[in-house]
Amino acid sequence: MSETPLRATVLGYAMKALRNLPRPVQRAVLGGATSGDLPPVAEFVRMLEIAGDMPDSGPTHAELIARYPSLSEVEVTAPAIDGVPARLYRKPGSDASAALVWVHGGAFVWGDLEMAESHWTGLMLAARGIPVLALDYRKALHGVTYPAASDDVLAGWSWAVNHPDRMGVPAAKMHLGGASAGASLAAGVAKRLRDGQGRPPASVALAYPAVHPELTGWDQAGLDAIRGRRDAVYFSPEWIHDLSVHYAGSAGLTDPYAFPGVGDLVGTPPTLIVNCESDTLRRSGELYAEQLRAAGVEVSVHLLPGAAHGTLNDPFTEAGVRTVDLLGDWIAPK
């Protein structure tokens, strides 16, 4: 066994063991391991295939409630959706004007409904009176590739529009959104819906999206500035290319549903884009906004100054709260 597969195997078993330890231990061991350069995609995938997922060093449900007491008012259920894991967040007694179907990120290869990007986002928006259906999906591991994850999100969306009584609003008031890779999945499904595969959402809400198969528009100085931050994950253009090929195959790089920044965007629903300044993926969000405007689509773009990628996974930060507020204000303006 060569050095690279051996290292990935060892890390995979180490991560698998770490996932079974208490959350405070996970945090202490991981430290800053979730920032900086990522392992090569092939190595990263091998590690995750063994580990099952990344350890979750984020806050527990109890810690979220302690910081944000209003979240205790939210009712969380698990609807059965054709094998797609999902959680429905609703505040009993609230009169909702809009609802959101939400998809977490994780580079198409990790993440689940427990991560803050999914769970905390659902709780926070539901506490504001916005019902949220949070979806999980099949990861690009063990030979699974596109369109499996996209099909799962489409199935979740279809369940929502067919169960307005469960969502608390008519189908016409339902929005579709996601973060990072989840934003790509949401935007891709919105294109599928636009093209006749179901009822399109009222709007699309994207947090720090990556919607192109290639990461362009950076000079070396800009890349180095983000790479040098100790609190930021560094996605290099080469890493994004390799991930895109892993996710959709070389032929899939031109698929407009796999990568919604590819192809015609006319007829896309109104779209919110929240970018993070210290995030190489910001260029994808910025380019997508330009493409949408050129296609005559209503776009609202916000930049979080100084923020690194993944603000919704940092519930106790100003940037995390700001991202939730932007999503809530877009979906259900006060």
Predicted local confidence at residue 298, as pLDDT? 98
What stretches in the chain show pLDDT beneath 50?
1-2
List strands edge to edge, sheet with 299-308: 75-77, 86-90, 132-135, 99-103, 174-179, 204-207, 271-278, 299-308
How far is residue 309's CA from residue 278's CA, in Å, rounded to a whole number?
7
| Count of other CB atoms within 10 angstroms of residue 20 | 9
All structural domains of the chain, each given as residue ranges with its CATH number in brackets, are 1-57 (no CATH), 59-331 (3.40.50.1820)
What is the pTM (predicted TM-score) of this model? 0.93
CA 283 centroid distance within chain: 17
**Alpha carbons 162 and 81: distance in angstroms, whole number:** 11
The angle that helices 116-127 and 318-331 make with each other, rounded to 10 degrees, is 50
Secondary structure (DSSP) of 241-273 = HHHHHHHH-GGGGG-TTTSTTSS--TTPPPEEE
Which pLDDT score is estimated for 34?
Answer: 55
Which secondary-structure segment (H or E) carries 220? helix 220-227
Tell me which H or E stretch contains 175: strand 174-179
pLDDT at residue 2, rounded to an integer? 46
